[in-house]
Structure 1
Amino acid sequence: MRLAARWAPLMTSFLLCVFMCGFVSLVATVQTAGISVEVGADWIKAWGVSFLLAFPVVLLVMPLVRAIVSRLCRPPET
């Protein structure tokens, strides 16, 4: 089962946020706490908090980013 095309922008924002928050929170957690037995639990907590904050921001900022990119880049040649 696949989602309708109208959901593509939301899914793009969601998945980008999942991967970026995961990676950035892992790096920040390891830098702060070091590599230890507890790093996994600390990372999951940091990931959850960062995702809850970042996803709404991505939804609000993405239209602005698209507008800026469309002004900076030429449209594709047909």
Structure 2
Amino acid sequence: MTARNRRRKLPARYAAILSPLVLSLLMTFIVSFISTLRSLGFHPSLPSIWMTAWGLSWMVAFPTLLLVLPMVRRIVGALCEPASR
């Protein structure tokens, strides 16, 4: 692979922000779609209402994940054996 074709990656220090960012985007995308679909059914305005719901839910989910993820990691660490190396 040539230098021209390689994609640049973010430094590892961004993983603590990038992980909850991607998780919150994907989870809220799916959950807001299911929730909106259940309330409206297949309605002509479903896409615009869904995108509004998704944006609002993501604005809550991302900061929430940033706050609770360290606590979740501690709880999981207390419940699971450490990985063998």
Shorter-normalised TM-score: what interval? Answer: over 0.9
Which whole-Å CA distance do the structure 1 matches of 2:35 and 2:69 have between them? Answer: 24
Q: Percent identity?
A: 37
What are the ranges of 5 or more consecutive residues in structure 2 without an aligned counterpart? Answer: 1-7
- Matched residue, 2:38: 31
Moved over 4 A (4+): none
- Matched residue, 2:71: 64
Please report the TM-score for the alignment, with normalisation by the length of structure 2. 0.88
Query: Which aligned pairs between 1:1-78 and structure 2 lie closer than 5 A?
Result: 1-78=8-85
User: How many residues were matched structurally?
Assistant: 78
Task: Tell me the secondary structure at the aligned position of residue 10 of structure 2.
Answer: coil
Please report the TM-score for the alignment, with normalisation by the length of structure 1. 0.96
| Greater helix fraction, Structure 1 or Structure 2 | 1
1:11-63 deviations in Å (ceiling 9; x for gaps): 11000000000000000000111111110001000000000011100000000
Which whole-Å CA distance do the structure 2 matches of 1:62 and 1:77 have between them? Answer: 23
What's the C-alpha RMSD, in Å, of the aligned pairs?
0.7
Between Structure 1 and Structure 2, whose CA radius of gyration is higher? 2
What are the ranges of 5 or more consecutive residues in structure 1 without an aligned counterpart? Answer: none
Which whole-Å CA distance do the structure 1 matches of 2:61 and 2:83 have between them? Answer: 31
